[in-house]
Amino acid sequence: MAYASLDDLLAEGVRGRRVLVRSDLNVPLEGEVPAVRVTDDGRVRASLPVLRRLTEAGAAVVVMAHLGRPKGSPEDKYSLKPAVEVLRDLADFPVSLAPDTTGEGARSAAADLSAGELLVLENVRFDARETSKDDDERAAFARELADLVGEDGAYVDDAFGAVHRRHASVYDVAALLPAFQGDLVKEELSVLERLTREPQRPFVVVLGGSKVSDKLAVIENLIGTADRILVGGGMVFTFLAAQGHAVGSSLLEQDQLETVSGYLERGSRDGTQFVLPTDIVVAKSFAADAEHGVVAADAIESGPFAADGTGLDIGPATGADFAANIAEARTVFWNGPMGVFEFDSFAAGTRTVAQALADSQAAGALTVVGGGDSAAAVRSLGFTDDQFGHISTGGGASLEYLEGKELPGLSALARD
């Protein structure tokens, strides 16, 4: 597909024009209203360069974004206020938050916006039409959004994390205004294309997270493309069970055993090696201070907690094995933590994988951390973004791209 870029828009000139930007400000929060704070500002920082380029060029910028999953009406806990406060602290241009999305407050604020200033609309998901399956409802909301920037306005999609959604602010508004691809979306696409189109080999994929069902289509599409798939996190217990091993009280998706068995067989046939843990950190219960120990992956119920044991991390031998596989790779994609990294006792596996990626990047490989929990993990464990080739903001969108799915937000930007 061919896309018009932000460079194309800036070449046209934006001084004195209003530009509608879809950004990704869907940041993780903690605390209760009104004492809510952002725990990872990575997505705000990633959004900043495009917003800065537009304001510096003299545009009056109106930002659309969502946060969380409100049910189509305003909810204080999903207000964009905490994210906007972070943006305001980071920005070197004026930033304000509208009191609503397309209501009187937003219309008035957008009309008063001057060149070089930025207005963030309140959470677009506060309006049920944003996510409606009714085309006419979404189109009506998109028209209200487009009207905020007027007939001479333009639309820039810089929220790769939302391009897999057929939502009004992502898909429908692109049909109403001259539409351009933001730099963040452009960069994400470039990296994902490098992963899927003749990646440098060996190509190693590291998959974790809680549920194998969340990764089924990704695994399906990567068999035959990746040289090795290293499996950790909660999803590994379905793989171990598929090999006939007892997994105690560990997370297990019984209904996926046949599918996983098929993947293991296909991998052997199509040249993709699955690398599974040889040892597991097993705990007496799911708690930060739970009694725990290391047992062989094929003997979880023979450990000190027997059938009551719960696997919460890969073991040290597995961590070393995974690190060695990553060190041999020229391309590495990682999505999903290796254990319950939020608990110090069960963060070692995730830390080991993150360090291996950082070392691999320093040695000249391409290392890609696939957004969401993986991005939060590396930052919470003390790693910096520049230690990796690319930290995705895409989350589910990146996974759907790797699954080979069409992404509506990208289709809406495509030009003949």
Q: Average pLDDT by consecutive 10-residue portion of the chain (416 residues)? A: 93 97 95 91 94 98 97 96 97 97 98 98 98 98 98 96 95 97 94 89 95 88 95 96 96 95 96 97 96 96 92 98 98 95 96 97 94 83 93 83 89 86
Pairing type for strands 60-64 and 179-181 reads: unpaired
- The answer to whether 267 is a known ligand-binding residue is no
- For residues 341 and 381, is the Cβ–Cβ distance under 8 A? yes
Q: What is the CATH number of domain 192-403?
A: 3.40.50.1260
Q: Are 157 and 181 in contact (CB under 8 A)?
A: yes
249 backbone dihedrals φ, ψ, rounded to 5°: -95, 15
**In this predicted structure, what is the pLDDT of residue 352?**
98
Peptide bond preceding 199 in cis form (omega within 30 of 0) = no
Is 81 flagged in the annotation as binding?
no
pLDDT tens-digit profile of 248-305? Answer: 999 999 999 999 999 999 999 999 999 999 999 999 999 999 999 999 999 999 989 9
Q: What is the pLDDT of residue 287?
A: 95
**Which ranges of 91-242 does DSSP label H, i.e. alpha helix?**
104-111, 135-147, 183-196, 216-222, 236-242
Residue 402 annotated in ligand binding: no
Known binding residue 125? Answer is: yes
Q: In what order do the strands lie in the sheet with 310-314?
A: 292-296, 279-283, 310-314
Contact 157, 185 (CB under 8 A): yes
**Binding residue per annotation — 58?**
no
3-state class of 204 per DSSP?
A: strand
Cα gap 97→349, rounded to integer Å = 40
The reply, when asked if residue 96 is annotated as ligand binding, is: no
Q: Which of 294, 264, 258, 293 lies closest to 276, judged by CA?
A: 264
- pLDDT value at residue 393: 80
Strand pairing of 279-283 and 310-314?
A: antiparallel
Which token pair is 7? 């460079």
Lookup: tokens for 278: 């040889």
* 112 annotated ligand-binding residue: no
Within the chain, what is the greatest distance between any pair of CA atoms?
71
Q: CA–CA separation, 366 vs 331, rounded Å?
A: 5
Domain ranges of the chain: 2-183, 192-403
* Contact criterion met (CB below 8 Å) for 240 and 301: no
CA distances from residue 350 to 41, 173, 211, 338 in whole angstroms, order as listed: 20, 40, 16, 5
Residue 43 known to bind ligand: yes
Angle between helices 81-90 and 42-56 (to 10 degrees): 60
Domains 2-183 and 192-403 agree in fold: yes
The rounded distance, in Å, linking the Cα atoms of 100 and 121 is 6
CA–CA dist 340, 371 (Å, integer):
17
Which of the 8 DSSP states describes residue 113? P
Please give the structure tokens belonging to residue 323.
């690190």
Work out whether strand 95-97 and strand 154-157 pair parallel, antiparallel, or are unpaired: unpaired
DSSP secondary structure string, 125-145?
A: GGSGGGG-S-HHHHHHHHHHH
Q: Has 108 been labeled as part of a binding site?
A: no
CATH 3.40.50.1260 fits 2-183, yes or no: yes
Residues designated catalytic: 43, 211, 372, 396
Asked whether residue 189 is marked as a ligand-binding residue, the answer is: no
What is the chain's mean pLDDT, rounded? 95
The two beta strands, 2-3 and 414-415, are antiparallel
3-state secondary structure of 105: helix
pLDDT confidence of residue 370: 85
What is d(CA 338, CA 209) in angstroms, rounded to the nearest whole number? 7
Distance CA 98, CA 258 (A): 51
Nearest-angstrom CA–CA distance, 164 and 406: 8
